């Protein structure tokens, strides 16, 4: 799996055209949920992930300028989103692990929504994207179910990488209700978004 990931990032798999993002045609977000400043509860799944992978949760970053969105970076974001969505077999935590909401890397080729998001985050970090721009985000989908996605913060707005959508989408165009996301400075601090209530327990299980 890791060798294949490196192949994707180095471009040995044919890159998707940047135009497939539709960036020239779509409206950039006119406001960003990342402006939220109110701390909220940390997802239980993230706490469990950090207990199993402490090194993955120890990094902190100084908040600098948003990621400058170039055509090359758009290509990488699009390629990673497509590849992970196509390569990971969807399965709920209940079926795979016998319990709800276990966040982990899908190194066995199977996982649910947060596992997709974690792998996309890791792949983009390996492409030298800054940690402060790659934020695991919890939403409620159109059915009101908990769901996890990866938010990529840029100087053109915030974009969502979603295992349920092969298109990288401006956050405001997803149709989701945004609940909470990681802090830019510290991934172990979470902020609630917009007018979302504090949700002590929200289970993410977005399998296709």
Question: pLDDT tens-digit profile of 96-125?
Answer: 998 888 999 999 999 999 999 999 999 999
Looking at 90-104, 112-126, 174-188, 192-206, which range is the least confident one?
192-206
pLDDT for position 12? 39
Task: Say if residues 176 and 139 touch (Cβ distance below 8 Å).
Answer: yes
CA dist 67 and 49 (Å) reads: 26
Question: Torsions phi, psi of 122, nearest 5?
Answer: -65, -45
Task: Say if residues 125 and 77 touch (Cβ distance below 8 Å).
Answer: no
pLDDT for position 64? 77
Between 90 and 24, name the one with better pLDDT. Answer: 90
The count of domains in the chain is 1
Task: Say if residues 186 and 177 touch (Cβ distance below 8 Å).
Answer: no
What tens digit of pLDDT does each residue of 4-21 get?
Answer: 455 555 443 434 433 444
User: Has residue 65 been placed in a domain?
Assistant: yes
User: Has residue 200 been placed in a domain?
Assistant: no
pLDDT for position 114? 96
CA dist 113 and 207 (Å) reads: 6
What tens digit of pLDDT does each residue of 41-65 get?
Answer: 999 999 999 999 999 999 888 877 8
User: Has residue 199 been placed in a domain?
Assistant: no
pLDDT for position 66? 86
| Average pLDDT along the chain | 83
Name 73's Cβ contacts closer than 8 Å, sequence gap at least 6.
67, 129, 154
Looking at 29-33, 131-135, 157-161, 194-198, which range is the least confident one?
29-33
User: Has residue 157 been placed in a domain?
Assistant: yes
Mean pLDDT, residues 186-200:
79
pTM score, whole prediction: 0.84
pLDDT reading at 88 higher than 60: yes
User: Has residue 71 been placed in a domain?
Assistant: yes
pLDDT for position 202? 66
CATH number of domain containing 159: 3.10.620
What is the DSSP secondary-structure string of 126-152?
HTT--GGGEEEEEEE-TTS-EEEEEEE
Q: Are strands 134-140 and 89-90 parallel, antiparallel or unpaired?
A: unpaired
pLDDT reading at 3 higher than 60: no
| Structural domain that includes position 155 | 2-9+16-192
What tens digit of pLDDT does each residue of 32-42 get?
Answer: 545 666 889 99
Task: Say if residues 33 and 181 touch (Cβ distance below 8 Å).
Answer: yes
């Amino acid at each position: 799996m890791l060798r294949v990931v490196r192949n994707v990032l180095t471009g040995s798999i044919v890159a998707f055209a940047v135009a497939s993002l539709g960036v020239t045609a779509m409206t950039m977000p006119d406001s960003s949920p990342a402006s939220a400043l109110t701390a909220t509860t940390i997802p239980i799944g993230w706490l469990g992930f950090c207990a199993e992978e402490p090194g993955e949760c120890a990094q902190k970053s100084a908040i600098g300028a948003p990621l400058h969105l170039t055509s090359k970076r758009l290509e990488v974001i699009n390629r990673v989103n497509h590849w992970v969505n196509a390569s990971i077999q969807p399965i709920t935590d209940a079926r795979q692990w016998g319990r709800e909401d276990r966040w982990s890397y899908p190194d066995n080729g199977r996982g649910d929504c947060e596992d997709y998001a974690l792998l996309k985050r890791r792949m983009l970090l390996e492409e030298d994207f800054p940690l402060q721009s790659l934020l695991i985000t919890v939403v409620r989908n159109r059915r009101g179910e908990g769901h996890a996605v990866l938010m990529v913060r840029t100087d053109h707005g915030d974009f969502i990488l979603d295992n349920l959508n092969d298109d990288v989408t401006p956050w405001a165009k997803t149709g989701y209700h945004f609940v909470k996301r990681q802090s830019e400075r510290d991934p172990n601090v979470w902020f609630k978004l917009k007018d979302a209530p504090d949700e002590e327990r929200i289970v993410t299980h977005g399998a296709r």
